[in-house]
Amino acid sequence: MIRKIVSIAGKPGLYKLVSQGRNMLIVEALATGRRTPAYAHDKVISLADVAIYTTEEDMPLGEVLDKVKAATDGKPVDVKAYNDADLRAYFGTILPNFDQERVYTTDIRKLFSWYNVLIAAGITDFLPEQTDEESAEEAAAE
């Protein structure tokens, strides 16, 4: 599900990919349901392509959002209740191995705001769906 959710640089909020036109995408704002075009010159990125820096390997955003959901019991996070140091400490309880130098406080605030938008839109399945090939490969590996 998270693969069809996109962020557009310069535009607030998150959008669901509805259709693809010629030289543009048709997206629907998750907050308002309003459809709008995203043109080829807009920087559009799927949330499935975003990752968070950790001290080991980068962690896909879907896994991080799933950890946030588990830590908050699926409830929204009140980002404004935290100052920068407290927000970083709180995020450290959710993802203890995040890279303290490369993950900025603004990144953490954006992650929590995206999480809140997704929860408000009823999207709670953050892990990407497995294809039949991936399922077969995992079964063969076991």
* H runs (alpha helix) in the chain: 61-72, 84-94, 105-120, 132-141
Residue pLDDT, tens place only, 104-120? 999 999 999 999 999 99
What six digits make up the tokens of 114? 């995206």
Could you tell me the pLDDT band of residue 128, with boundaries at 50, 70 and 90? Answer: low
Distance of CA 7 to the CA centre of its chain: 9
Q: Which of 1, 90, 3 is nearest to 48 (CA)?
A: 3
pTM here is 0.84
**C-alpha torsion 85→92→10→61, nearest 10:** 180
Res 17: pLDDT: 94
Could you tell me the pLDDT band of residue 139, with boundaries at 50, 70 and 90? Answer: very low
Set out the domains of the chain in order of their start, with CATH numbers.
2-47 (2.30.30.730), 50-120 (1.10.10.1650)
Res 66: pLDDT: 93
